[in-house]
Amino acid sequence: MSKEKHSEHKEAAPQTSEQTLTELEQALTDENEKLIAEAESLKAENEKLHKTVKRMQSSADKSDSYLNQLVAMKNDFESYKRRMKFNAEQAKSEGAQSVIAKLIAVTDNFELAKKHLEGDNLKAFEMVYCQFMQILNECGVEEMDVMGKPFDPLTMNALSKLDRGEDNKDLVVEVYKKGYTFGGKVLRYAEVIVGA
């Protein structure tokens, strides 16, 4: 009986090994299929991630492009503001120069009238004239002091030359019309007679 049991046992053992082998193969096949399914799922997820990265990169590129455009527009606007401020200041200055140039013509009339007045009339007239000149000075107008100075073609117009001795050669000997500056620029050239 022990031989029979032993032989049965031998027969049963190969079946168990075979059965275990089949179960193991089945388990490995199942595990392999599971891994393949996971790999395909990961591959699909990876593709989705690549597409998402591309979309994000495209969005980032667009964002950078918009940011660069915004910076350029900001710089253009700052330049525009500076230009407009400069133009406004220049227009204001040119407007003031235009009005002041007309007022300076009035000073010539004051100078002529002053020569024909005397006494109390002259004093009252000089008060008005001084006030007028003070207002011009406050606006930035300055009278050029050219009498006895060397002739300067950048600030003066020579009407003629007169022989007033060797000491006065090339010096201003008479001022026909006073010259004025405004903001460092010549507003009106002094009209002078120069010693010869």
The arithmetic mean of pLDDT across residues 123-130, rounded, is 85
Q: Select from 167, 138, 165, 133 the least CA-distant residue to 150.
A: 167
pLDDT tens for each residue of 77-92: 999 999 999 999 888 8
Least confident range from 54-63, 108-117, 169-178, 185-194: namely: 108-117
pLDDT tens for each residue of 132-191: 889 888 888 999 999 989 999 999 999 999 888 888 888 999 998 999 998 888 889 999
> What's the whole-model pTM score?
0.55
Q: Domain range spanning residue 181? A: 142-196
Residue finishing a domain among 54, 84, 105: 105
Residue 50 counted as domain residue: yes
pLDDT at 90: 87
pLDDT tens for each residue of 3-31: 444 444 445 445 567 778 888 888 888 88
Residue 152 DSSP class: -
Residue 150 DSSP class: B
Q: What is the mean pLDDT of the chain?
A: 85
DSSP codes of every residue in 66-102 = HHHHHHHHHHHHHHHHHHHHHHHHHHHHHHHHHHHHH
104-108: long-range contacts (C-beta < 8 A, 24 or more apart)? 104/136, 104/141, 104/180, 104/187, 104/188, 106/132, 107/132, 107/133, 107/136, 107/178, 108/177
Rounded Cα gap, residues 25 and 19, in angstroms: 10
94 and 11 within one domain: yes
Residue finishing a domain among 105, 133, 156: 105
Residue 92 counted as domain residue: yes
181 and 96 within one domain: no
